[in-house]
Structure 1
Amino acid sequence: MRVETRHEVRQSERNLSTSRLSRSRQTLTPTVLWNIREEIPKHLTWKLMLVSIAVPILLWWLVSSTGIVKPLFLPTPGAVLDSIARLWAENTLQQDIVYSLFRVLSGFALAAIVSIPLGILMGTFESVRAVTEPAIAILRYMPAPAFIPLLILYFGLGEVPKILLIFIGTLFFNTLMVMDAVKFVPKELIETTYTLGGGRWQVLTRVILPHVFPNVLDAGRVNMAASWNLVIVAELVAATEGLGRRISVAQRFLRTDEIFAGLIVIGTIGLAIDLLFRLTLRLSCKWAMK
């Protein structure tokens, strides 16, 4: 009687596991929409995205046009588009967009300049993390709008306090997200670099930085939304231009159509910035894309 070798035993175990997996898949309902962690056809993706936008707009139009909700509280999509066209023709919408964009991009850029190097250092060196993490852990739970009185007291009512408010509200979360990205760099890559004769500088520049760059871009995508939230708060205090200021003035005079117009413009700009982050990720990190 022939005794099975270890290789034959392992091969039979693999075959058994494969057969069990195939039987379990056969029991599942075959569908493209519910495949776990698998891509769906591009044409289906675009159709689903179109539905996700068209259905809310259709519901909005039905509710506002049938009179279920008064136009004072819910204007029709047509009225909102007319409001956007009127504000654009008056050249006020362009000014508001420029001021809000300047404040958001300035505050976010300052936060990125500080948070990305700091987060990389905190994730790389435990000594840096031990020194900085307790202070960041305390400060990140302080609401950024709570700093408005101090910022106005220190810097007046100009652009500086508005930009610093966005900087404060973005800095700490971006730092911690970058630090977490560095912490998940495989230890084997670092040890292999040391084995091949590399030093700390090579590990930092040739292993850690390329590995975390896609995560840094993703962190920027997330925290850009926080910057837009903060600019609205900043423009509610002592601002004469900006989309947040436009919404505040419209609320004061019950111009609901202008409120919706401001929200739609903010959402459109945010979507454009998000797509720009995705394009940057796709062009600069092709090795990290599927």
Structure 2
Amino acid sequence: MPDASPRRPRRGLLRLREEIPGWLFSAAGFVVPALLLLAWWLVTELGLVRPLFLPSPGEVAAAGWQQWSDGTLAQDASVSIYRIVVGWAAATAIAVPVGILMGNFRLIEGALEPLISTVRYMPVVALIPLSILWAGIGDGQKILILFLGTFFQQVLMIMDNVKTIDRNLIRAGQTLGFSNAEILRRIILPAALPGIWDTFRITIGWTWTYLVVAELVAANAGLGRRIMDAQRYLATDTILFGTLFIGLLGLLTDYIFKKTGQRLFRWAQLGR
């Protein structure tokens, strides 16, 4: 007769949702990049790839140091960060109320979702000529591209954040005599805010990915523009450094949003 006693769960590093020591979690994040960096160094050191196609890590670091020394890196970074912040903030300021309305009112969702779902599949690069006609070639055009690349996806994600709220909570508010505005302010928004914050974290990452596209045309400065200029002269070391630097800035932004969200919504972390 088989033993009906419950089995004790096995402990291990790869068990589902099993906690591991914090130092091990942090160290694991450095292993894969370190291995990739080692493989990159070996490939270039052994001459398996021509430097024109893949410069060594040292050459990329030297290109970055040169930009830092002459001040171009700080100038480009400040311009790009300004465009990122303004473009993302403008998209967020409109996407939040629209997404909340779509998530709460079926009529508004039915009216706007087909249009928004269609536009979000349009390639942003194809909109560059129109953005120049609409906004010229200054910062406004770059910010518009970042806005278009972020807004439509963000609206739908915020709508989904709101729609995940348990309807029983809304019915409880209606039973207590709350108005629609009170239910929105006292029930829906507090419950949806952790998910909306995660949406902010994801969408600002998308904004970084559109940076090179936004600075593709008629930009005098910016990290994306520096990469495009380097492409003309086959300066692969500058291209690689600029790409990696944008990635690091995006990672820093993600880390700030993640830690801020953990502090603001500690109660939402329970049970995860």
Which residue is 2:98 aligned to?
A: 118
Instruction: Verify: 1:262 aligned to 2:242, yes or no.
Output: yes
Residue 43 of structure 1: which of 16, 23, 28 is its match?
Answer: 23
Q: Distance in 2 between matches of 1:222 and 1:126?
A: 25
**Partners of 2:223 and 2:11 in 1: CA distance:** 44
Spell out the pairing of 1:130-149 with structure 2 (5 A cutoff).
130-149=110-129
Q: TM-score, normalised by structure 1?
A: 0.88
The superposition leaves residues 66-108 of structure 1 with CA deviations (integer Å, 9 ceiling, x where unpaired) of 1111122111111111111111111111111011111111110
Bigger shift: residues 90-99 or 127-136: 127-136
Identity among equivalent pairs (%): 43
The equivalent of 2:253 in structure 1 is: 273
Deviations 1:206-228 (A, max 9, x none): 11111111111111121112211
Which structure has the larger Rg over C-alpha atoms? 1
66-75 or 111-120: which moved more?
66-75
Q: Which amino acid aligns with 1:286?
A: R
Match of 1:62 among 27, 37, 42: 42
Counterpart of 1:16 in structure 2 is none
1:31 Cα deviation (Å)? Answer: 4.2
Gaps of 5+ in 2: none
One-letter code of the match for 1:84?
G
Equivalent position of 1:197 in the other structure: 177
Give the aligned residue type for 2:107: S
Is 2:161 the counterpart of 1:176? no
CA–CA separation in structure 1 for the residues paired with 2:26 and 2:84: 30
Q: Does 1:163 align with 2:143?
A: yes
Residue number in structure 2 paired with 1:106: 86
Identify which of 143, 161, 166 aligns with 1:186. 166
Deviation, 1:186, is: 0.7
In the TM superposition, residue 34 of structure 1 has moved relative to its aligned partner by: 1.7
CA drift of 1:195 comes to 2.2
Corresponding residue for residue 212 of structure 1? 192
Aligned length: 267
Partner of 2:69: 89
Q: Which runs of 4+ in 1 moved over 4 A?
A: none
The whole-number CA distance in structure 2 between the counterparts of 1:155 and 1:180 is 32
The SS at the match of 2:23 is helix
For structure 1, the 5+ residue unaligned runs are 1-18
Give the CA deviation at 1:39: 2.0
AA in 1 matched with 2:22: K
